[in-house]
Amino acid sequence: MASAPPQSPLAPEAFPDLPVIDGVSFASAEAGVRYAGRTDVMLAKLAQGSTIAGVFTQSSTRSAAVLDCEEKIKFTSDAGAAIIVNSGNANAFTGQDGRKSVKAVTNAVAQAVDIPETRVFSASTGVIGEKLPHDKIEGKLKELSGNLSANGIEGAAEAIMTTDTFAKGSGTTATVEGQKVRIAGIAKGSGMIAPDMATMLVYIFTDALVDKPVLQSMVAALNQTTFNCISVDSDTSTSDTLLVAATGASGIRVTENNLGFMEGLRRVMLDLAHQVVRDGEGATKFVSIAVTGASSDRDARTHAMSIANSPLVKTAIAGEDPNWGRIVMAIGKSGAPADRDMIAISFGPIQVAKDGWVNPGYKEKDASAYMKNDVIDISVDLGLGGGRAVVWTCDLTHGYITINADYRS
């Protein structure tokens, strides 16, 4: 990019004060993969006995790092583990060179932190189709391994940013049979956000003791109602990765019946997903879209994502125009069942349409005033059944074009 974009007006006031997770340490460094004057590589080291679960992009052009992680995540090991991430270069659509770069980096990390290469999970994010200068990353591994710190998570979050305008973090404590476990996570993502299994780059850590099948089941289920329910621009990345690591350092065991832990993990995942939307490229408004009365939950999500991904809907929101006709259009094109004469639409508390027609009591000035808010709630009831879904998106502004027109400059 020619210059860094201004911070999103929807950004939080500051990076949160996250709980320290025993059994994991972080470091970041400036390797110069693409960017100058900022960190662009992060390393996380996990204690022996850590379990790791994950979900990944389903793109047919997914990167070499994603393919490598997909293979490694299948296996269980008591050895320590590591996560290495670079920003600025996605190492995607790079053929055999891409695979060689992944292997070079993961082998070097394994040697630097003394763990098996099969337990090194890598990711790359940035420009697609350019060879990864992996030697620059390898050249920073001594510095990274020497600077590992339990308090380095904010630096790690900053190092994985690309067009992000703020570092994203979230944390909580969860109660498991009267005892507290900690959960903390970081994410990057701003554009190319319409995930189909996983999203962007997300790394979440807990000191709970969780068997891998249990953790994998939780992550896969929660992903469906968090990261898989957001969209910035309807484009699915080649590099989307979500990893959740449980170090077990607390000694507190979590089973599939521990709803308190699952709720804590859900809160962290949803908070990070919302932060990604709030940092959507050029975004000025955070939008929730709730669809009820669908024939099934799946149909409700189909309708909601059709609305969220419509450029006409998103530009109307940017222009603060309560153009509910575009909502009708997006419902009609979704492919899921809908009855025109049963549809009701509301912007926040203002019902603009019902029974397939404009609400007789609707006043345009009220809806126009509501659209000036920076958080917009759109609700649709289809009147067909009990299916429901909520998705989140942002508006589409000139800022999105500016950022992406200059992305490789």
116-125 mean pLDDT: 97
pLDDT for 327: 97
- Beta strands 253-254; 209-210: pairing state: parallel
Give mean pLDDT, residues 40-65: 93
More confident of the two residues 163 and 328: 328
Of the pLDDT bands very low, low, confident and very high (cuts 50, 70, 90), residue 198 is very low
Please state, rounded to an integer, the average pLDDT across all residues of the chain: 92
Q: Tokens in use for 33?
A: 């993969």
Q: What is the dihedral of CA 396, 401, 402, 408, to 10 degrees?
A: 130
What is the pTM assigned to this prediction? 0.93
Q: Percent of the chain at pLDDT above 90?
A: 85
Q: Is the dihedral of CA 124, 126, 127, 132 positive or negative?
A: negative
Q: Using the predicted structure, report yes or no on whether residue 193 has a pLDDT greater than 50.
A: no
Q: Which amino acid is at 398?
A: H
Residue range 274-313, pLDDT digits in tens: 999 999 888 999 999 999 999 999 999 999 999 999 999 9
Cα distance between residue 213 and residue 53, in whole Å:
8
CB atoms within 10 A of CB 306: 23
Say how far apart CA 122 and CA 64 lie, in whole Å.
9
Asked if pLDDT for residue 402 goes beyond 80, the answer is no
The model's pLDDT over 278-288, given as tens digits with 9 standing for 90+, comes to 998 889 999 99
Per-residue pLDDT, averaged over 335-346, amounts to 97
Q: Given a cut of 70, is residue 2 above it in pLDDT?
A: no
Which domains does the chain show, CATH number per domain? 24-278 (3.60.70.12), 286-405 (3.10.20.340)
Give the confidence band of 232 by pLDDT, cuts at 50, 70, 90. confident
Question: Which of 199, 236, 247, 302 is an active site residue?
Answer: 199
Rg (CA), the chain: 22
Give catalytic status of residue 199 as yes or no: yes
64: pLDDT strictly greater than 70: yes
- Tell me the average pLDDT across 109-122: 98
Q: 3-class secondary structure for the chain?
A: CCCCCCCCCCCCCCCCCCCCCCCEEEEEECCCCCCCCCCCEEEEEECCCCEEEEEECCCCCCCHHHHHHHHHCCCCCCCCEEEEEEEEECCCCCHHHHHHHHHHHHHHHHHHHCCCHHHEEEEEEEECCCCCCHHHHHCCHHHHHHCCECCCHHHHHHHCCCCCCCCEEEEEEEEECCEEEEEEEEEECCCCECCCCCCCEEEEEECCEECHHHHHHHHHHHHHCCHHHECCCCCECCCCEEEEEECCCCCCEECCCCHHHHHHHHHHHHHHHHHHHHCCCCCCCEEEEEEEEECCHHHHHHHHHHHHCCHHHHHHHHCCCCCHHHHHHHHHHCCCCCCHHHCEEEECCEEEEECCEECCCCCHHHHHHHCCCCEEEEEEECCCCCEEEEEEEECCCHHHHHHHHCCCC
200-214 pLDDT, tens digit per residue, is 799 999 999 999 999
What gap in Å lies between CA 95 and CA 103, rounded to an integer?
13
pLDDT of 233 above 60: no
Report residue 361's pLDDT band, with 50, 70 and 90 as the boundaries: very high
**pLDDT at residue 406 greater than cutoff 70:** no
Q: What pLDDT sits at residue 281?
A: 81
Cβ-based neighbours of 358, under 8 Å, separated by 6 or more: 324, 352
How far lies 103's CA from each of 30, 63, 117, 359, in Å? Answer: 21, 13, 9, 61
Q: What is the pLDDT of residue 280?
A: 85
For 212, phi then psi, to 5°, come to -60, -45
- Other residues' Cβ atoms within 10 Å of the Cβ of residue 235: 13
pLDDT at position 200 is 79
Rounded distance, CA 287 to CA 314, Å? 9
Q: Give 240 or 20, the one with higher predicted confidence.
A: 20
pLDDT confidence bin for 398, thresholds 50/70/90: confident
**Residue 246 and residue 227: Cα distance in Å, rounded?**
20
